[in-house]
Structure 1
Amino acid sequence: MIGALLDMWGRHAPVLSVLLPSLTAVALLLLGDHGNVSPEGGGHEGSRLAWRRRLSLASAGLGLAMAAGLVVRASGGELQVYELGEWPAPFGIVLVLDRLSALMVLLTYAVALPVLAYASGGWDTHGRYFHAIFHFQLMGLCGAFLTGDLFNLFVFFEVLLIASYVLLLHGRGGERLRMGVHYVVLNLTASALFLIGLAMLYAVTGTLNMADAALKVAALQGQELRLAQSAALILLVVFGLKAALVPLYFWLPGAYAAASAPVAALFAIMTKVGVYAIVRVHWVIFGLDAGAASLTVQPWLLPAALVTSVLGVLGALAAHSLSRLVAYLTVSSVGTIGVGVALFTPQALSAALYYTLHSTVVVAGLFLFVELAAAQRGAMGDRLQPAPQVHEPVLLGVMMLFGAASAAGLPPLPGFLGKVMLLQSAADLALRPWVWTVVLGVGFLTIVGLARAGVILFWHVQPPDGGAAAGHSARLQLAPWAFMAMTVALAVVAAPVKAYTDALAQQLTDKRHYADVVLARHGGAALPTTRPYDGRRAPPSTLHSPEPQQEARP
């Protein structure tokens, strides 16, 4: 029985990772939600809130276990293609499980479970349907990471963005509403550009399947080539806005600082969706072997990433609140990751992905720490101004010190290891002076900015004014400690994680194998798609007609 269940899960693993949060959200909606109810108060509504929390946490825990299973399945290097409705690619919708998608799904749930536990300490009662919207967000994230089709990437982007609109406003407040309007307008604009970019790419390739488009782009010439390159640049603008790259980062600090602590912590993974889309589109479709369209965005992406990293840390130095400081550090970390992606070498991409794991969990933990500290500083909150001493200076001081050391990349923490890997990957490149200067300089300025914040929080204290809160419950403290434990674990298992990201980067460079697996599955039999492309005929795996076609003569 157990073996049959495991076999069924193995065959349907990709789609189950999308269905689990979707069905959980529907079940939570059916339970109803009247908000502002405490289970400690008893009564029917309090009991339903307790059940909502149990169901939500159980689903997130199961999702984390399933995501770990996805990584195990993908670690061997085999790609799993799930054909919805048994329509083969490129005709139908497919989900593709490879090392990259599995890693990103695992990272999503690794962030989501502690955040959900923290929110269940009381934040989920500040508005309605928090848990349901949270799981719709997870559905959008998992779908975006697993889809093998560009249009469905757009669809899942919209799902997670709609959920994020609601989560950003959770708890209400004038500042959240103001920043929420900016956030919605910018993302709606990006969605319109996304559709324009997809239309342009479809016009010249006749497909939006990533594997199919990757083969067809390599054969483009003339006006079709220029149209495809224009589509690549438009998509870079779209993904750059999602990832908060310069000059499209200005929305993030205000929005993340205005959001509630658990929502801001969950949003630590949101910028990584933009980075993931850049990797998936500009490595797989417009990557190293895309013919004349190869590396279309590199002249734009690398300078943007370097400037993003610098401006992000300068914003952190100038921040007047702890939440904005962490938000600007999020921007800076995206720039560092973008540098690794923009170098377009497997070694640099591997380092960037390792650093992605580190920066996501550190930023999520720091956002939760901000609320814990702000709640104990009386009316001053998280503003970087002298205030009465916090009730738990030792506990919060340790959290602050660990978070600062992690964010700055001090040894032996994973931030240090990730930056060393990135510097080593650029050692033989002509751009080494720029990369080394920015990465090392940003690390130093991060230390300065966080040291300044720590001095204000713990040394520049005023006499008590009677408004400081008591210590927080262990339930709220558990989530930041969980993120710190993940950070330590990344350093302890750095070697196997690095081996995984190395293999991941190599897998992404093998475009032909990816296309053969995705496009050559129908009823368990391989279609004739493995013939080498000789540059004269259309790549065999991109032919849409079931009838044999004659080869074009030179």
Structure 2
Amino acid sequence: MNHWLTAPILIPLLGGILQALMGYAPIRLRRTLALATTTLLLVSALVLLAMASDGSHRLYAFGNWQPPFGIVLVLDRLSALMLVLTAVLALFCHLFSIGGADEGNRQFHGLFLFQLMGLNMAFLTGDLFNLFVAFEVLLIASYGLLMHGGGTLRTVPGLHYVVLNLVGSALFLISVGLIYSVTGTLNMADLALKIPHIDGESLNLVKAGGMMLLVVFGLKAAVLPLCFWLPRAYARATAPVAALFAVMTKVGIYAILRVYPLIFGDSAGALANLGMHWLFPLALATLVMGVIGALGAQSLKTLVAWQVIISVGTLLAPIALGSQASLSAALFYLLSTTWTVAGLFLLADLVASQRGSARDTVVTAPPMHNRTLLSVLFLVGAVAAVGLPPLSGFFGKVLILKSVTPGPEMAWLWGVLLVGSFFSLIAYARAGSIVFWRTVSGHIEDTRPLKARTATATGALLALSIVIVALAGPIAQYTDATAAQLKDRDAYLDILQTPVVGEDD
């Protein structure tokens, strides 16, 4: 077994425990420890990415229990990609938070690290029940982070978030119970072997469980009509929390990518491609809803929150089609949109700190401080989010469009994606012109100085859209190989035969 697989879970766990024990320590010490923990997490994620690049599946079985028994962690290209995506995002969000956003809650950094632990558990786990456990860990931490800063503005959206996710957790438990009652296992590889042979009345139980799982993952991903909680909750959260939450919807998308091609894929017999015919139209409807919300957004944070929903629809449409090319294109776009949206959340907070009482609302106000720098950052973020050349969002959307084979799906996807991108451009152009250029006479008071660390974190996340373009070739090769690995069901099933005792890999 390879003990490196436990590092993305143990590092934030130990860091979070230390933060909980030193809640009354000087804030500078807590910040240093938090940043060091997140840096170590990024290093471990990069090590695992290098390991996964050889195309093999690596296994870690707690207690040396041979799968399908016990708790197993599985590393492949997809999980490694998600670990790096999250670690990079977390590092810059943490850097931004120590600029002052972490004040007022002694356990902010502990909650932040526990959420990272839950995210990494979800990406590495090899069975459905521990996926549920990972969801609960990250959700419990997210409840505290969402309320960070206090006030009624966060309480009501936070309550909606908590209630909906509690309902989702209950459905998750019911669905895995239904599946376990028939199959006697929740190990994903073992389920992939057993489900094709289910028939009779048991087939309906597993089908019900599979469809309920899809609803749960759709709630986590914020698919229409389960997306209306997101804009208010994200817009009211503090900037580093909202930026970290940019990856939360991607956990639901990851779960769909992990579970459905493997367990309910082409080889699942009567349950093949379960629910996928519903997912494609819902994805397009989600994209449309996100564009409509963006056009009516009254603040930059709300605009970016609706951009999260736009990205969910854009990602799920090619995933629902299920081809290797469409999966690869979706993964390429996943990197771009997550980091870009997170950077825009941080930028909205910087803008709010420089506009006095106008904050980040889309209204005319006196010229803000540091307008040139912030407007350039907004331009970069908007171009990447909309999908204009030459930044990464453009290449991601082009890959998605090229991945669709001729037919009705191609017409729908091309039409909705291109028209949606055009109206998204209008939404960003409207917001940017009003906030940055349509000024009135006067002088802004009550501003916060623009700190180097917050500006650096924001600029770095947005600059990643340029880095992705520079590394587009290697990234595309990696996503192509990842998509091919996802389609190779038999390779994943080999983990059931992997020896776990006495191996020094």
Quick one: which of 3, 8, 17 aligns to 2:8? Answer: 17
> Any conservation in 2 of the 1:391–1:470 contact (CA below 8 Å)?
no
Q: What is the CA deviation profile of residues 417-469 of structure 1, one whole-angstrom value per residue up to 9, with x for unaligned ones? A: 11111111103344110010111111111111000001110122122244252
1:522 positional shift: 3.9
Quick one: which of 155, 163, 186 aligns to 2:133? Answer: 155
Alignment match, 2:217? 239
1:516 positional shift: 1.6
Matched, 1:501 2:479: yes
Alignment match, 2:362? 384
Whole-Å Cα distance in 2 between the matches of residues 522 and 167 of structure 1? Answer: 38
Q: What is the CA deviation profile of residues 340-387 of structure 1, one whole-angstrom value per residue up to 9, with x for unaligned ones? A: 110011110110011010000000000000011111111111111111
**What amino acid is the match of 1:314?**
I
2:447 aligned counterpart, secondary structure: coil
Matched, 1:459 2:450: no
> Any conservation in 2 of the 1:390–1:468 contact (CA below 8 Å)?
no
Alignment match, 1:141? 119
Q: What is the CA deviation profile of residues 40-59 of structure 1, one whole-angstrom value per residue up to 9, with x for unaligned ones? A: xxxxx5xx211111111011
> Any conservation in 1 of the 2:355–2:444 contact (CA below 8 Å)?
no
Distance 1:393 1:332, change over 3 A: same
Whole-Å Cα distance in 1 between the matches of residues 203 and 470 of structure 2? Answer: 46
Alignment match, 1:165? 143
1:96 aligned counterpart, secondary structure: strand
Alignment match, 1:309? 287
Whole-Å Cα distance in 2 between the matches of residues 25 and 520 of structure 1? Answer: 32
> Any conservation in 2 of the 1:81–1:518 contact (CA below 8 Å)?
no
**What amino acid is the match of 2:10?**
L
* 1:315-330 aligned within 5 A: 315-330=293-308
Whole-Å Cα distance in 2 between the matches of residues 186 and 470 of structure 1? Answer: 36
Distance 1:284 1:169, change over 3 A: same
1:28 positional shift: 1.2
> Any conservation in 2 of the 1:201–1:231 contact (CA below 8 Å)?
yes
Whole-Å Cα distance in 2 between the matches of residues 473 and 382 of structure 1? Answer: 18
Alignment match, 1:250? 228
Matched, 1:102 2:80: yes
Whole-Å Cα distance in 2 between the matches of residues 437 and 521 of structure 1? Answer: 50
> Any conservation in 1 of the 2:368–2:444 contact (CA below 8 Å)?
no
1:519 positional shift: 4.3
Whole-Å Cα distance in 1 between the matches of residues 79 and 302 of structure 2? Answer: 30
RMSD: 1.3
Greater RCO, CA 8 A, separation 6+: 2
1:247 positional shift: 0.6
* 1:93-492 aligned within 5 A: 93-469=71-447, 471-492=449-470
Whole-Å Cα distance in 2 between the matches of residues 276 and 117 of structure 1? Answer: 26
2:73 aligned counterpart, secondary structure: strand
Rg larger for = 1
1:323 positional shift: 0.8
Distance 1:259 1:420, change over 3 A: same
TM-score, normalising length: structure 2: 0.98
**What amino acid is the match of 2:182?**
V
Q: What is the CA deviation profile of residues 183-225 of structure 1, one whole-angstrom value per residue up to 9, with x for unaligned ones? A: 1000000000000110111122111000000111111122222
1:95 aligned counterpart, secondary structure: strand
**What amino acid is the match of 1:257?**
A
> Any conservation in 1 of the 2:183–2:195 contact (CA below 8 Å)?
yes
Whole-Å Cα distance in 1 between the matches of residues 446 and 424 of structure 2? Answer: 29
> Any conservation in 1 of the 2:301–2:360 contact (CA below 8 Å)?
yes
Whole-Å Cα distance in 1 between the matches of residues 365 and 122 of structure 2? Answer: 43
Alignment match, 1:90? 68
2:60 aligned counterpart, secondary structure: strand
Alignment match, 1:516? 494
Whole-Å Cα distance in 2 between the matches of residues 485 and 407 of structure 1? Answer: 12
- For structure 1, which runs of at least 5 residues remain unmatched after alignment? 1-9, 34-44, 526-554
TM-score, normalising length: structure 1: 0.89
Alignment match, 1:544? none
Whole-Å Cα distance in 1 between the matches of residues 405 and 425 of structure 2? Answer: 24
Pick which of 93-102 and 378-387 moved more. Answer: 378-387
1:289 aligned counterpart, secondary structure: coil
> Any conservation in 1 of the 2:284–2:413 contact (CA below 8 Å)?
yes
> Any conservation in 2 of the 1:212–1:519 contact (CA below 8 Å)?
no
Whole-Å Cα distance in 1 between the matches of residues 194 and 408 of structure 2? Answer: 31
Whole-Å Cα distance in 1 between the matches of residues 413 and 218 of structure 2? Answer: 19
Alignment match, 2:47? 69
> Any conservation in 2 of the 1:378–1:388 contact (CA below 8 Å)?
no
1:497 positional shift: 0.7
1:77 aligned counterpart, secondary structure: coil
**What amino acid is the match of 2:428?**
L
**What amino acid is the match of 1:445?**
F
1:135 positional shift: 0.4
Matched, 1:27 2:5: no
Distance 1:68 1:522, change over 3 A: closer
Whole-Å Cα distance in 2 between the matches of residues 300 and 522 of structure 1? Answer: 39
1:387 aligned counterpart, secondary structure: coil
Alignment match, 1:531? none
1:524 positional shift: 5.5
2:102 aligned counterpart, secondary structure: helix
> Any conservation in 2 of the 1:373–1:396 contact (CA below 8 Å)?
yes
